[in-house]
Structure 1
Amino acid sequence: MTLQDQRVVLLGGTSGIGLATARLATAHGATVIVASSNPESVRRALGVLPASASGTVCDLTDPAAVGAFFDRLDPFDHLVYTAGEALSLLEIRSLDLARARQAFELRYFGALNAVHAATPKIRRSVVLTSGTAADRPGAGWSVAASICGATDALVRALAVELAPLRVNAVKPGVVRTPLWPDDFDYTATAESLPVGRIGEPEDIAEAYVFLMNQTYATGSIVTVGGGNVLV
């Protein structure tokens, strides 16, 4: 399978899983366009991506900015949405509803609006990002699990509404990225997983590229979590 001569737009494609996906897509022959709200993150990403890549600064929570971004683009093959902010627990007993709503802004409503704005330009597929919190939440994960569950439902609904455009999602488990807290115990988590190690961004990138290439998959949510939903 190959992405040769295809154009991929990655929102959030400047660090972590998104950047790993951008790098792998270019290795498969794609031309990538990455976007992030952080100018320094865009600059760093373009420093490690091939010269054919391009990047832009865009506030993905601003519908007008996202609409203007896609208006400037020529038609492209795949939209990949990996944008997210640092993970934090929100316990019900001390819930700040404003923070809970804010958590949905980038991860869920940002993705929903991106698909809305981009659909007229997309030729082949959309790949969104969910998470295994929807299937195996812990204490304090009610908001995060809700976002992931909403994304799962969105993928299935969009796959029907936008057909024959394909819409899928990747559902990562614990992955070594800057979005996890500095004091997160990767060692203990690795020991609890059937695969015996923590995921790396490159592991997850393989799933995004697979879904871009897999022309018979739509409404699919691919879990890549080292078996964390089993234990």
Structure 2
Amino acid sequence: MTLTGQKVVVIGGSSGMGLATAQAAAHAGASVTIASSSKDRLDTALATLPESAEAVVVDTTDEDAIAALFEHVGELDHLVYTAGDSVAPRPLVDQSLDEARRKLDVRFWGAVAAVKHAAPRMSPHGSISLTTGTVGVRPVPGFALAAAGVGATEGLARGLAVELAPIRVNVVRAGAVRTPMWEAVPEAQRQALFASMAQRTLTGAIGEAEQIAATHLYLMENGFVTGTVITVDGGLLLTAS
């Protein structure tokens, strides 16, 4: 139940839930490597982590780049995948199949590539934690492909828990969480949106990145949890739509 001396790789670790997870793992004693597509965000994130932490630029849509990342990292104990891209609502019928396929490149196929190249280097006592969202359980118009990606990722995790055992594989299913991905929305509109989201939860609040990070940390530390999806959404899924 400790991460002291263990190596953790967080893909999507330059901001938001990924960075919060990297910070939590480092605080728990782990040696941390963060990876994302933006060198500027990685440099900023690295300044918030211990000197032993490392940052690697990687394009999660490029399998060769992912393979190179894990060749560089070498042996590791835990992989956390929080990488995502901004998704705007758009009906499926308005998209070409090429566009539709690209919608799953980062969140699903990126996770597949990461697991493929990390697993052979992982400690048998290690873990893999993927990240999804409640849109997979309660979809809204324009997000059918996002919902499909959630379902695919959660099914993948269950299959991998069996296939990769004793390496543990789990999913954190996040509800509405305050992260930098919302910063493109104007401040006043963003605050109104957060307030509306908070009213729909049982806790009366939206999530914070640190709360998602705490769940990823739990999944790294608890050696008796695998093949599980943990929902962290303030009870949103229990409320009326």
TM range (shorter): over 0.9
RMSD of the alignment, in Å? 1.2
| 2:196 is equivalent to residue 179 of structure 1 | no
The letter of the residue matching 2:77 is D
Q: Is the 8 A contact 1:11 1:34 kept in 2?
A: yes
The letter of the residue matching 1:39 is K
1:30-69 to 2 correspondence within 5 Å?
30-69=30-69
Match of 2:167 among 138, 156, 165: 165
| 2:4 is equivalent to residue 4 of structure 1 | yes
Following TM superposition, by how much is the alpha carbon of 1:114 offset from its aligned partner in structure 2, in angstroms?
0.6
Following TM superposition, by how much is the alpha carbon of 1:179 offset from its aligned partner in structure 2, in angstroms?
2.1
Following TM superposition, by how much is the alpha carbon of 1:28 offset from its aligned partner in structure 2, in angstroms?
0.8
1:47-126 to 2 correspondence within 5 Å?
47-123=47-123, 124-126=126-128
d(CA) in 1 for partners of 2:109 and 2:39? 22
Q: Is the 8 A contact 1:4 1:28 kept in 2?
A: yes
What secondary structure sits across from 2:147 in the alignment? helix
Gaps of 5+ in 2: none
1:118-157 to 2 correspondence within 5 Å?
118-123=118-123, 124-157=126-159
d(CA) in 1 for partners of 2:232 and 2:63? 30
Q: Is the 8 A contact 1:17 1:82 kept in 2?
A: yes
Q: Is the 8 A contact 1:90 1:143 kept in 2?
A: no
What secondary structure sits across from 2:230 in the alignment? strand
d(CA) in 2 for partners of 1:92 and 1:66? 29
Q: Is the 8 A contact 2:92 2:145 kept in 1?
A: no
The letter of the residue matching 2:162 is V
Following TM superposition, by how much is the alpha carbon of 1:206 offset from its aligned partner in structure 2, in angstroms?
0.6
Gaps of 5+ in 1: none
Give aligned pairs, total: 231
d(CA) in 2 for partners of 1:7 and 1:158? 21
Q: Is the 8 A contact 2:161 2:167 kept in 1?
A: yes
Match of 2:202 among 181, 189, 194: 194
Following TM superposition, by how much is the alpha carbon of 1:217 offset from its aligned partner in structure 2, in angstroms?
0.7
| Equivalence for 2:224 | 216
Following TM superposition, by how much is the alpha carbon of 1:146 offset from its aligned partner in structure 2, in angstroms?
0.5
d(CA) in 1 for partners of 2:92 and 2:119? 36
d(CA) in 2 for partners of 1:225 and 1:99? 29
d(CA) in 2 for partners of 1:97 and 1:212? 37
The letter of the residue matching 1:156 is R
What secondary structure sits across from 1:84 in the alignment? coil
- Relative to the length of structure 2, the TM-score reads 0.92
Q: Is the 8 A contact 2:92 2:100 kept in 1?
A: no
- Give every structure 1 segment of 4 or more consecutive aligned residues whose post-TM-superposition deviation is greater than 4 Å: none
Bigger drift between 6-15 and 70-79 goes to: 70-79
The letter of the residue matching 2:129 is V
- Relative to the length of structure 1, the TM-score reads 0.96
d(CA) in 1 for partners of 2:38 and 2:79? 19
d(CA) in 1 for partners of 2:31 and 2:147? 33
What secondary structure sits across from 2:160 in the alignment? helix
d(CA) in 2 for partners of 1:38 and 1:32? 17
Q: Is the 8 A contact 1:136 1:229 kept in 2?
A: yes
Following TM superposition, by how much is the alpha carbon of 1:96 offset from its aligned partner in structure 2, in angstroms?
4.0
